[in-house]
Structure 1
Amino acid sequence: RLLEYSLQNKNKFEKNQVDTFIIEAVLLKQIRKIQIGHDGTGVGSGWFLNKVVVRSDDGHYEPVTFICNRWLAVDEDDGHIVRELMATQHLNRTIYNVKIKTGDIFQAGTDANVYLKIFGEKDTTDKIQLTTGNSTKNKFERGQINSFKLKCYDLGKIERILIGHNGKNLGAGWFLDWIEIEAPNCRELYRFVCYRWLDKNEGDGKIELDLIPSDVTNKTSLILYEITVFTGDKVGAGTDAKVFIQICGLYGKTEEIILKSKSDAFERKSVDKFKIEAPDIGQIEKIRIGHHSENFASAWYLEKVLIQRYLSKPFDKRKRVSDVNVEEYWFVCQQWFDSDQHDKQTIRELLPTNENENVLSNQKKITYLVHVFTGDKSGAGTDASVFLTIYGQYEDSGEHQLTKSKTNINKFERKQEDIFEVKAPALGKLTKIKIRHDSTGMASAWYLDRIEIVDPEIGVRYHFICEKWLAVDIGDRMISREILAFENKVLPASTRHQTTTYRINVITSNKFGSGTDANVYIIIFGEHEDTGKLPLVKSKTHKDPFEKGHRDLFEIEAIDIGQLKKIKIGHDDSGFGSDWLLECVEINVPKLDHTWIFPCGKWLKKTKHICQLEVELYPKEMSTGIYSSHIPYKIKIYTSNILDAGTNASVYIQIYGLKKSTNQVILCSTAWHLDRVEIRRLIKDQKTKRYVFQCNRWFPEDKDDGSIVRELVPENFIEEILIKKYIVNVYTGDKSGFGTDANIFLTMYGDKGHTDEHELVHSQTNKNKFERQQIDRFVIESSDLGNIYKLKIRHNNSGMLRDWFLDKIEIKDERQTYVFNCEQWLTKNKRDSKFERILYEKNYQSSMNGVGSVSRSTEECIPYIIKIKTGEISDAGTSANVFIRLIGSKGRQTPMIRLEVMHRRRFEPGSVETFSFEESDIGDVEMIEIEHNGNTLLDSWFLDGVIIKMPTKGRTFYFLCNDWLSKYKGDGRTKRILRVQDLNKTSFWSFPYVVKIHTGHMEHAGCDCDVSLRLFGTVRSSSECILRKNEENFERAAIDVFQCEFEDVGKPIKLRVAILPKSIQGRNRWYLEKIQLIKHTKQTIREEIYFFVLDNWIGHETDYYFDIPITNSSRVSIDRTTYRVITKTSDMDGINCDANVFIVIS
């Protein structure tokens, strides 16, 4: 409201003056805050406001005072001319410290007016103009960090921010790197990573952006450390290397902290002081200090280090005389840090001492004996430098180079044991090691068999089984491995679950001179710990990695660190062209089925203007779309059994899915007759489908129709089944000559199907498998076979010793053990001359009348298969115990049977869980009784339906529920009795919709694809509605209207929009502005209108679909009626109007 007429003064807002104004408004009740300001015009626009008092005219509410006592002026105070004031009784204001980093790329700065809006848990600010900060006058310039102090009421935890600018002035385009907001009241630091343009002419053209926190740091755990470094008084004692320190304490350790100084630090006889904020790690137990440089002037002689730890309360008073809130720790070193002289160490661990070198802590260094066993393979030895880090329950040893073997002059040779001494603090029980080499020397490839470490304090020998290559061109091409510790030599099968594979894609910029010849490394930080420094040596995509425009893939196996939080990536500044412009890093963890993207766009180089060889990156928030990682497909090609059906040509395959297709994959290396193709998606611990593509056609140029490329459609697919793990124990007989060197193959048969033939390759118990009186254990992953009743075992009659006497085979799953006795030879030279045997489970003959297992009673039992479909809304799942009873046509019923989910231990939203059991034959299933025992809101369960199969009778029964089983939702019942469905009847209502689709008004916005719509609601999702493409539909700036029907989904939540490409060459990218759904019910007396706004591209980069949430502007128009509008034009001269007139009625 404009404060126009003062009741007391004609010239209002003068010095020491009170002005009163009357404002009419709707009833606001008790006023909590006001916003007051001016437009900044006029010669003397600056205004110092003392306070504002607001009174209600009727006196129902007490007067409210708003204290200001600040300038509203562009050239005074903080430059704001608009302020929010809180009522004095509601004053709970705080200051937010805001830092904004403009990107370091060409023309990244802006001259536009930048604003910020903060959304908190308790409240939200208005748009705050960032006009005056406490930094430079010319704000938001390239590479600049601008600081601002925002004073407003307490917002609580910050949930998101809105950042943008007005797009005005010549250089309005702005590249925003990141924003940090510190809330001193709650001592939390919020970091928002943006790394994109806010520019109408760049990217998506947006100049305003919503961001959610990329990282939140609790600053209550941060304390101040003052570090004083004393460089020695020796010739050449100073260094130009980048020195770092890592502090290890009772409760953990800090990251590696670079000790930076504005002046020349670490010169001869210098004393350099550094103040850092770092987590409180408790009483300091040791430090790790050093540098990674091997340059000419990197040698350094360190005399000692003093660390003063500032506390909020006394911790250990004996450490400090003058101030009980400061602890002092001395670390006397008096050693060189030089890779060319002395012991060639550039990193050292130091224990706390006094100034006279007396160790203060009880932690003395002990000597670990490290036994390194190189494997017995051709070329197993290495000439590279080998490095070892030992991890214990308390801390780690730091990285040590294994230089001097106690047993051999020429270390790490084939079939050789080398013993080294590693001095470190007592680490407690050892948990793992990291072993690596630097890939130098003529023969750097190394086959490591194992490492054994002896703890002399307790006399325990720890075993670290590797049995892998550390090489850039052999095996998985990894030269760094983390290995878990065990106190026996047998490698448990569970170790594979404690490590995981990281697929790291490093993208170098496409600008001139972007590539590097330096050695690149990465450190990955997770929710549990970090991987340590991992060298990126052998790219799977390029021989010469990190070149201009390269996308280099590295696969690294390391300890599972959980969800990724951030990374550090850098290089050692070596090589002729070491400068590197890193575009971004993508890390895929197949175990978690997720990919993290870390944008960078920065130079990593060492010059006068830029001195940064390492960068810390945070993941970019994936706002829309679902990431689908690469998964394995097993492809079976059946060549026809007719004359000349085979081929020597290069056969390729390309698989087309609903949303995208694979690349062409070469299957082998001219006439060929193809019978069929089978493809199965192999996903661990998930369901799988097998697709069958029938062909029965020739592929030569001179036969059939002459085509050498054919598109096949799936004829059918086999029912979804779960992948299970079977443990196979193979017992070789106890007589001379019973072992074999041949390759062994196994096929398993169950009442639900059979496996493919598996070669038994990797024994978990023995390196040399199938030897006399030996038990070899294998793990086979397969679909659920049910009860296993038969095996086929054979060998290929290869090797020097081919004959094999098989005693028996045991197969274990999570339910039982199946025993298959053999006690026969597999050979061509003895008795019946067979090297293939069919074996039956030992109880099979006694269960021929059952279903593959011995009956539990004299009553005939039959198998039942039950499939439970949970609803797709986010809170549809339950962890409660679910029970079911089947009621049949013979007046018989089963007992209540508990349905236990084996893998996820709960019924997940949208999941289909399958259960199988044996019970008495109750005839056709007519009803089911299903319930759960949950009593809380979180136990609420939305059940879509149930399918019951009787495989021995070939009968299937369907039961629809589509309702809640909950004490708090629906009708409050947790038990339902469902009747079998007549599938000829419609299951639920459908409603007609008018669909209006708005294609964007920009270049190439149209597409050549059909469009698919699927509506999701609070109850269920609809079936798919396909809108066919014609010449006019889905073109630039077009508004296309369709009619379609969707099932009743409850209250709409989102709309899934997908485009269906018709050909590879077509326009398979579409800019969708928005979609409007108009729902008609009761003969259009009532209509409901829903808006789904996207304003973005749909194409290959989004997997050809988008899930668009319903917008808040969706409205319902009830009881439609007709309004008669009468306008009267005045009779004055010249008042007529030829323009289009509109009216808004509200």
Structure 2
Amino acid sequence: MVFYRLVMSGGIANTKPRRPVCERGNPGPPHDLWAFVVVRQLERSAWGSMASVHQDRHPIDRGAGEGKQITCHTSDIRSAGTDADVSITLVGGAGTLGPKVLQHSNSNLFERGVKDEFLLEGTFLGDINRIEIGHNNKGFGAGWHLDRVEVSDENHNRSYHFPCKQWFDSSRGDKKVMRTITAAQLARADSKNTCTYKVKVYTGDMRSAGTDASVFIIFHGSRIPASAKKNLESQGKDLFERGQVDEFMFEFDDVGDVNTITVGHDNRGLGAGWFLNHVEVTVLGKQPTQYFVCRQWLDKKKGDFLIERTIQASAFLPDDGQCQYKVVVTTGDHRGAGTDATVRVVIYGDKGQTALIPLISDSKNLFERAQVDEFLVQGANVGNITRLQIGHDNKGWWANWHCKQVEVTSLANKQEVKFFCDQWFDKKKGDGQIIRELTPLVGGGQQQAALQKYTVTTHTADVRGAGTDADVYITLVGTTSRVGPRFLVPPSGDPFERGQADSFTFEAGDVGAVTQIIIGHNNKGWGAAWMLDFVEVVAQSTQQTVFFPSKQWFDAKQGDRKIERTIDAVSNKPNAGKTSYKLEVHTSDLKNAGTDANVSVVVFGNKGMSGPRPLPAGKEAFERGSVDYFVIETDNDLGELERLQIGHDDKGWFAGWHLSHVEVTSMTTNQTWLFPCQKWMDKKKEDKMIQRMLTVGQLSAAAPSQPPPEQQQQQQQPPAPAPASAPAPAPAPPLLLPPRRSRHHVKNAGTDSNVSVKLFGENGQEGPAKQLIAKRGQLERGNNDNFTINTVDVGRPARLQIGHDNTGFGPGWHLSHVTVTRVESGEEATFICQQWLDKTEGDKLTTRILTASSTAPLGAPSTKKELPANEAPPAASGAARREVSYTLRFETSSRPFAGTDSQVWFELVGTEGTSGIVKPDQKPEHFDRACKDTFTFQLPHCGDLNSLKLGTDKAGKGPDWHLSKVVVNDGASGREYIFSCGEWFDKKRGYDKTLSVSQ
């Protein structure tokens, strides 16, 4: 190595050697500097390059320390902060600094949305063109989302910008925890490299247009070809819903004039597909609003299957019939007037109507008491505004709302319209409406334009499962306009139940003659499926009724899976001149009896036939032991039914079917015909037929026509022979006798066996044995079950033979008593049993002959399954008991929540018999907390009362009840009985009790 001594004057030389080492020397005369430079020995030919030493007139003192200010911006997204140690390396044109751990006295570094600043000491690096930054992946929350890094070189008045917008996380994305980032731009320190963007995203107003995915945007501008990705996020808000406008404002990379954007999503979530209408971008203070029109799906299953699109800007939104409206809403100045619900409007005009527009903004406190809220919304250009629909979705803690007035201004034609309201939108106040239609103030703002009042009545079909728990809506389409969609909200009660007609009245603009409706539901609730029979609409100004027949399911899981239908009007009421028949199809309880095939029927009567009718059913239909219900309609009454053809198409994995029988009931006359089958319809069994013609008849009897020998020995009084002069029992005309059987609340009292009955008359007449066709759930413990049998007239029933065939899993049966009513005369006879019909209990008999204990009507025992049986039938008496007046006062306790919404029942028990189960005619205000409710009844005289049975049917939202006492006044004797209770009727302690007389 050779030392050279250089003498330089006139300044400080910046030699810029390849790898020089400069040592500071003693200063000489002014402007002179002596320095020693150590270089490697050069060949003579290389000395020419040393001329550059004298050409640089901007010397730099390379020995001095230099400071670099590092600013790290952690992103403002969920879990963006890190507990790990972050380090950085700066790479410049003249050297490298680092890696350096970024730390200072503040222990909470790199938190979400926080800017952290650090000062690094080092040497001159030249222009910094990239950084290497990352963390050591230590700590509980190591994952980090870095927005950007800014590096300032204060000595040389320069700054550098390094955008990132990525995760440093070993469990996300590309799983990197260290990245190299290139500088985005080089600028003077006093220049800004970010700006404020206002972005409005318009989701399309069509079915399934909204998305659950994460949406991002990239800006392309005149200064920078592309910014980093910006995720469009907002806390506590459902973004990008159908027809919604979402607005974002944020500071981001300044790319210059924005001419193109890229927008897309990550395709995550249950409903990722998205229909984007357009995006509006405004660079505040720099660039006016630019429009980026998409109007395409971003969906991997629709259209071109893209989920990311690059869109060019336009200075205006193309004319697609859209325009902007300014909506100013004034909330009333009343207590509780504000709402947390989402308020929505539909604007109507002489050219049409907008879609349903939600009134939303970034403000968290919209629609507060006496507040005025202003919105700028976009919708179809409706021309001159004629009316407004406004309402809310009834969601949130405080959904009820009082609206004072609304002002709507069309920015297309500058029309300003004021709508006066001053009404509650509350299901519990006023008329219970949460959606209203308003008409403009006319005549100097003093008069409200007239509205039409409509009454809509929905008729739910009377078939199994026809009712719905979903929210039903309707749109009325007329010759001049349309109204809706309008949710049909009842003021009280449960609407849309099976066989129910529900009426709804609301005011709306006049649509002219109603020619069409669009009706459907939102598919919410446990039982959303709905079968609509028909709808009738009455315009009250004309009193004209228009009918809309449906007779279809609104079910997302069955049939055509539609939950919304468009129905045209008819002038005549559906079902007028038509007859509906209800079919109960009983599949046998045999192995492999069910079928997967498609079943159809033809019904024949003496006045005509129905024609082939398919029986549409779901996956659970025609299963072993099931009963399936259907309704068919014919143009004319078929008269007396004679035959029924039934069969299937032999399709499906398990097509073979064993049919027990079919019951057909005329819904006009309530007459029922039984068509027994009890055969296979299977190409591989019996006669291999899959279609059968059935005739009206009876099921084969399961019980013997006479009692077994051991039973005959038990009879205390055998049937007396008919007198010689008595005529033989006539086999016709048939008589309908409905026996009601009642059983104890005895453990295992129910039976799975086939039960049969046989009636004997007072004069020895004897009817045939009749099997009682029990449906699923009947003959169970504690039930009262009703059956109707068609048999010969035996006169007044005196004896009853009843028994079972001891088949099934649980054949043993404990029978309380049977009540038989002769339909023709209304005479009633009660047959007390109170014994087991069981081969393993008591006397081990399964058939018994019972003697009538009374032939007088005995009050009205309930037939509702939930109510207990009349366990103490009237004492045996050949004479009818007189009716007397009983007054009962029920005193509900004053405890909190003591009242009940359930139906209350009671039964008086005395020395001469019981009253039978009686249900008071309840009103909503009865049996409330601390109430005393008094009822008077005409009941059979029970003699001296010794007990009172009572309870509830456990129905309603508040079935529990705390009863203090019941006071009973016997109108015949004037005696008063007090039955003290002081107990709860609830699930834990039971919903029925027997009280003894306390006074």
- TM-score, normalised by the number of residues in structure 2: 0.31
- TM-score, normalised by the number of residues in structure 1: 0.28
